[in-house]
Structure 1
Amino acid sequence: MNSPVEIPFKSFIELKPEENTAIYLQIVFEFIKAIQTGFLPEGTKLPGTRILCKVLSVNRNTIIKAFQDLESQGWIETLPNKGTFILSQQKQKSKADFTISKEQIPADATIGFTFKKSTILENPTEISNLPYQFNDGLPDLRLVQTDVLARLYVSKLKRQKTSKTYEQILLRSHSNFKTHFSNYLNLTRGLRISTSNLLTTSSHEISLYLVTKALIAQGDKVVVASPGYYNSNMTLTNTGAQIVSIPVNADGIDTKRLKEICETSKIRILYLTSNYHYPTTIPLSAKKRMEVLELANQYGFIILEDDYDFDFHYDNNPVLPLAAFDSNQRVIYIGSFGKSLPSGFSYGFVTAPAEFIKELEKHQNILEPGIDVIKEQVLTEWISEGEAHRLSKKNKKIYKERRDDFVSILNEKLGDKIKFKMPPRGLAIWVEWLDRFNLIQFQKECAANGLFLPKTILYQTKDLTATRLGFGHLEKEEMENAVSILSHCLENIIQKL
């Protein structure tokens, strides 16, 4: 075994500061690659963070963060008073409390061609078999009315015997669906669109992908809020955008900071989750809404408004999107429909000026060339007969009760350890922990006690320790058990500090 100071790290760890990927992530990726290819065999002792930061010419905190990530994934192990060591793959598998949904390729596998690899588009999804789990705010699939959808789907299939050609059925069905769907959006979200202003897609993620590919060129500056939505930031970065972050205040994004940036830089897009900011759940205030629209007109940037959770609001007067007040056609509005339906029936959509929608359709014809006629007919009937409104009303009542129960349980079991605000919409609560502790260690402690916390809901900086806790998929008893585990594990972590 080589001495840690003798290992030629610079021969296999290549850092590229000019790239958009964070340096600590580059270090993580390079270490994993070195372990898989045998440069760092099992049992290798790594040098301390003070030595390694000098070898790689990076800040020590960067090395510490990279080591924390590597240890949480099971690649390395730190033993008190002994040091940090590379684990074998067998130990990595037994050590893990959960599995990451990512195919593992053998280190000795070879292929007959090269290809471009992305260090940005990593799959953040984690899978766990633990009895209790939090997520970032997903609906409860147990509430889906599959029997109603199944009856509609079967009835539509039985009526398909017709003399019309497939192309005629397709054109008429899609046009009819867009008419009903645009009317539905106008009614529920205060929009003023026609079918020419609407693009429907198979998912919210496809909508975002199509829009960013059409709008962003390499080096374009895109302003996002911090903390922000990891999925959209990943999509934006992959297009070649230069991400510029601005803070979030108690009433939404810092518009003063936005104006300062606009005065010194040419901004292409402001990406905004205005109604229900991800992850903090803070809505953008009425005053700041007007300021954002005025700044867009003054400095010529596009507002990409992502309304990912509009369906789940609990007041009688929901906050309408910026797109409802956009008189200068500066807002591109994307969202989702049917999040409470089975995944195959949910939709993503984009509303924008007709000319831009036509351009998006060109790209969609390559990415999604087929249209599920039966599904569109089912959803058209679902909307036209009022079933979509009835389901929405029913689900809002259920999720409002769950939100209120969750707030009560948090106050009861963690009231003196956290601070949070009750959100008027959505299926998650932003919880800030009053004590300072390592969230990765907390995650492991919770996993050992039967509760899974995915990394995507953990937020930690020098000044912030927070977690986005989704409650929509949990019934009251499940909430009580999950929060009890949180409380118990927090006590254990604090005692160890």
Structure 2
Amino acid sequence: MVPFKSLIQLDKASNTPIFVQLSNQLGQFIRTGLLTPGQRLPGTRQLAELLDLNRQTVVAAYDEGLAQGLLESRTGSGTYVATHFPEIRPQRLDIEARDPAIGMPSAEHSPGNQPGYPFDSLDFLVRPVLTQSVGLHLDDGFPDVRLAPMEELSRAYRSYFRWGNPQQHFGYGDTKGHLLLREQLSIHLNETRGLQTTPNNILITRGSIMGLHLVSQVLLRPGDIVVTGETNWAGAGMNIRKTGATLLTVPVDQHGMNVDALTVLCKNQRVRMVFVTPHHHYPTTVTLRADRRVQLLQLAEQYGFAILEDDYDYDFHYLSRPILPLASADRQGMVVYVGSLTKSVAPAFRIGYVVAPTALIDELARLRRIIDRQGDPMLEFSIGQLLKTGDLKRHFRKALRTYHARRDRFCELLTTELSDTIHFTKPDGGMAVWASFDPAIDMDALAQRAASKGLFLSSGVGHNPPGQRLNGTRLGFASSTEEELEKSVIVLKSVI
């Protein structure tokens, strides 16, 4: 006999009707083999008395089982488990793994937590998820969302609902991204970065990380060699390694990636791609020197490797005009240029872009289609409108002035208050300072002590190359006001 009274657990306070709960549990008993094909169920009156229910509740549960094909009714005989079910051997329940309340496996042994089949869990994909801190913070180099042009964006969103044919702009769109944004972005990139693009050279993505993923998937195969700086952005490295490619590194000094070391590597091995952040190297913020830029492009042409250029913070440079990207001097189609508006406006605006020859853009769009049919047409249209009206450019100019002042004040504070324990070079641009701490300081412990006093900062451990201890971290200044930066330095000094 099946102990229905002890196995069936009904919650009368639940929003799920009792008859549905009863039907679901009977179905679970059938699927796990506790009830076998052709087994007779108790009569509705008998089960109702056993469970202290109204008989009509049990009738409704049985009717639900009949409708789902789990049960079958035999005239004059009763209700039975459907005979078409295969024989299922009941699972043996480990007494120690059983939840005493309902006699079923506890949560940690539940299929809701662990599947019944194996899969590879890749250690290199384990990485803390960064979120915007609401208290004092010296983050990775985030923008100040309080400066974002919210009113202008709201107007642009409203205009989307009044624009064009509703059937057109509320249906499926172009996988490459909204045409208005690609047109305006092409103009913006050509004017500010010296590129020579058309809308067909641009693919809109959900942030630069999606662009890096798509490019890596299209260009790389298992065993391909990819070269990055010895210190590098973890997100890029994770995408490269996920393809099965081999990741090699070359040193990075005060002038950026050591291209001479790359030259030696190219003479001995077939390099498929080089990933670089030349404007401000991540994480150290140094700029790739002009002669090395020329040499890198020449190497790409000579050895036939692709350059994946991530220009994550081009819009924020504080000394005259920023250095033009590698892509602006590319005459042989060797550079794939990736950028984002996430750092320029706000992280929630998942607008990134890939700039490349049209043949590659077409292939990236085909791959993107099977991952994410399209982006957010309303957001893409709205950002396109802000570019067209000049609102976004005005935001860039305002943010540039603000971040410039915050950089100067933050570097002044680090110099006057912490010069004996922190060493840094004032960055020419970007939104963070690369700070090297006294070797005697335990960075993990420092980050924990700071958090206990209401200040978030990264321990920087994730920036350490294998076998090395840099004892440094990025201290973001852009997302904090000057007053908040002053408070943050006071806390940092106290925990040091």
Residue pair 1:427, 1:471 contacting (<8 A) in 2 also? yes
Is structure 2 residue 491 aligned with structure 1 residue 485?
A: yes
Aligned partner of 1:360: which letter? L
How far apart are residue 346 of structure 1 and its match?
4.1
The alpha-carbon distance between structure 1 residues 156 and 410, as it changes in their structure 2 partners (threshold 3 A), is same
Contact 2:176 2:374 in 1 (8 A): no
- The match for 2:446 is 442
Q: Which residue of 2 aligns with 1:89?
A: none
Note if 1:283 corresponds to 2:287: yes
- Structure 1 residues 434 and 114: alpha-carbon distance in aligned structure 2, compared to 1, 3 A threshold: closer
Quote the offset at 1:216 in angstroms.
0.7
Following superposition, the deviation at residue 120 of structure 1 comes to: 2.3
2:426 match: 422
User: Any conservation in 1 of the 2:232–2:463 contact (CA below 8 Å)?
Assistant: no
> Deviation of residue 230 (structure 1)?
1.3
Corresponding position of 2:231: 227
- How many Å apart are 1:192 and its aligned residue? 0.6
State the one-letter code of the partner of 2:262.
Answer: L
Q: Within the alignment, does 1:402 sit opposite 2:406 as a pair?
A: yes
Between the aligned partners of 1:241 and 1:268, the Cα distance in structure 2 is: 9
Match of 2:474 in 1: 468
Aligned to 1:351: 355
Shift of 1:112: 3.4
Structural mapping, 1:289-300, within 5 Å:
289-300=293-304
Please state if 1:147 is matched with 2:151: yes
Relative to structure 1, the CA distance from residue 246 to residue 151 in structure 2 (aligned partners, 3 Å threshold; closer, same or farther) is same
Using a 3 Å threshold, how does the CA distance of structure 1 residues 277 and 215 change in structure 2: closer, same or farther? same
Q: 2:232·2:282 contact (CA, 8 Å) conserved in 1?
A: yes
| Structure 2 match to 1:198 | 202
1:51-71, CA deviations, whole angstroms, 9 ceiling, x for partnerless residues? xxxxxxxxxxxxxxxxxxxxx
Aligned to 1:257: 261
Residue identity in the other structure for 1:149: L
Q: What does residue range 31-430 of structure 1 map to in structure 2 within 5 Å?
A: 106=108, 109-126=113-130, 131-159=135-163, 174-337=178-341, 339-430=343-434
SS of corresponding position for 2:292: helix
Give the 3 Å change call, closer, same or farther, for CA 165–443 of structure 1 in structure 2: closer
Change in Cα spacing, 1:341 to 1:256, as seen in structure 2 (3 Å) is closer
- Per-residue deviation, 1:377: 2.5
279-288 vs 290-299, which moves further: 290-299
**8 Å contact from structure 2 (residues 225, 270) kept in 1:** yes
CA distance in 2, matches of 1:399, 1:462: 32
Could you tell me the TM-score, scaled by structure 1's length? 0.72
Q: In the superposition, relative to structure 1, how do residues 172 and 304 fare at CA in structure 2: closer, same or farther (>3 Å)? A: closer
8 Å CA contact 2:446–2:459 kept in 1: the answer is no
Aligned counterparts of 2:175 and 2:446: Cα–Cα separation in 1? 54
Per-residue CA distance 1:1-57 (angstroms, 9 max, x = gap)? xxxxxxxxxxxxxxxxxxxxxxxxxxxxxxxxxxxxxxxxxxxxxxxxxxxxxxxxx
C-alpha contact (below 8 Å) 1:457/1:468 kept by paired residues: no
Q: CA deviation at 1:127?
A: 5.8
- Distance in 2 of aligned mates of 1:341 and 1:479: 20
Distance in 1 between the 2:364 and 2:238 partners? 20
Q: What SS is found at the alignment partner of 1:384?
A: helix
**Cα displacement (A) at 1:456:** 4.9
Query: For residues 129 and 373 of structure 1, what CA distance do their matches in structure 2 show?
Result: 29
2-side partners of 1:128 and 1:250: how far apart? 30
| Partner Cα distance (1:133, 1:224) in 2 | 29
State the distance in 2 between where 1:407 and 1:117 align. Answer: 42
**Structure 2 Cα separation of the partners of residues 340 and 255 of structure 1:** 29
CA deviation vs aligned residue, 1:455-477 (integer Å, no higher than 9, x gap): 45764565632121111111112
**Aligned-residue offset at 1:270:** 0.7
Secondary structure of the structure 1 residue equivalent to 2:427: coil
Q: Give secondary structure in 2 for the equivalent of 1:116.
A: coil
Indicate how the Cα distance of structure 1 residues 291 and 152 shifts in structure 2: closer, same or farther if over 3 A, else same. Answer: same
Secondary structure of 2:192's partner?
helix
How far residue 136 of structure 1 moved from its aligned partner, in angstroms, is 0.9
Residues in 1 aligned to 2:419 and 2:176: alpha-carbon distance in whole angstroms: 56
Give the unaligned 5+ runs of structure 2: 1-106
Structure of larger gyration radius: 2
Segment drifting more, 166-175 vs 278-287: 166-175
Matched length? 386
- Give the secondary-structure state (helix, strand or coil) at the position aligned to 2:209: helix
Contact residue 458 and residue 468 of structure 1 kept, 8 A: no
CA RMSD of aligned residues (A): 2.5
Offset from partner CA, 1:220-261 (integer Å, 9 cap, x none): 111110111111111111111111111111111111111111
2:178 match: secondary structure: helix
Partner of 1:94: none
Report the identity percentage: 33
Q: Decide whether aligned partners of structure 1 residues 489 and 459 sit closer, same or farther in structure 2, where only a CA change above 3 A counts.
A: farther
Q: CA deviation at 1:171?
A: 9.7
Aligned pairs for 1:12-27 within 5 A: none
